[in-house]
Structure 1
């Protein structure tokens, strides 16, 4: 039976496609294989926090369904989401200049919050957030 566990990547060889995780509980390192990664394999670096299902493999403990746990909280929404913001701030920018400034601020927030995002991923997330904000009337088109 697999048990959900957390740990830290000790090492991961992207070329060979395997590495090891130090679990938070227990003293035996856990084998990880690229086929069991949820995110792109280049994102798994030494020290990355991960969650995984711990299983017993033929040669010892093995991780499956390994996913990154992003630690950054500096750019998360306040508790309660946008509703927790003051009414004036929730109204959002209404002019094109304010919308451009918001776009720039959003890009910076994405760059600062998760350093493992690629430029293309940042653009896609930013464009989706901007579409949502425009549809709700939070920013000018």
Structure 2
């Protein structure tokens, strides 16, 4: 049965994620082997169509196709330092758990400046995490 839905989460490295069906019901497992388009295009919030199958562990998507194949772009910065207001839609944002955010932030900080000490990393990470919570960028 051909269905429509939005990608809830997709881990490009591990090659799997989940789709929220438009019709409601249980989230549907998705695997990189079932993607029709390039793997990097499958991001949280993107609308897809897929065939629903029953796998060993529950609903599974096959022949997963992006509805709009144009890749999402990051909002362009404005001269005043803000973002274009019409570029972001709350339905397409991937809100991370605190643990996911902390792990990604740590990797980004280490990659940006390998000379940071563990104490410096912790202080920066704690402050950025507070900021992220205040703005609703991570789950409470």
TM-score with structure 2 length normalisation? 0.50
Q: TM-score, normalised by structure 1?
A: 0.49
Greater percentage in helix: 1
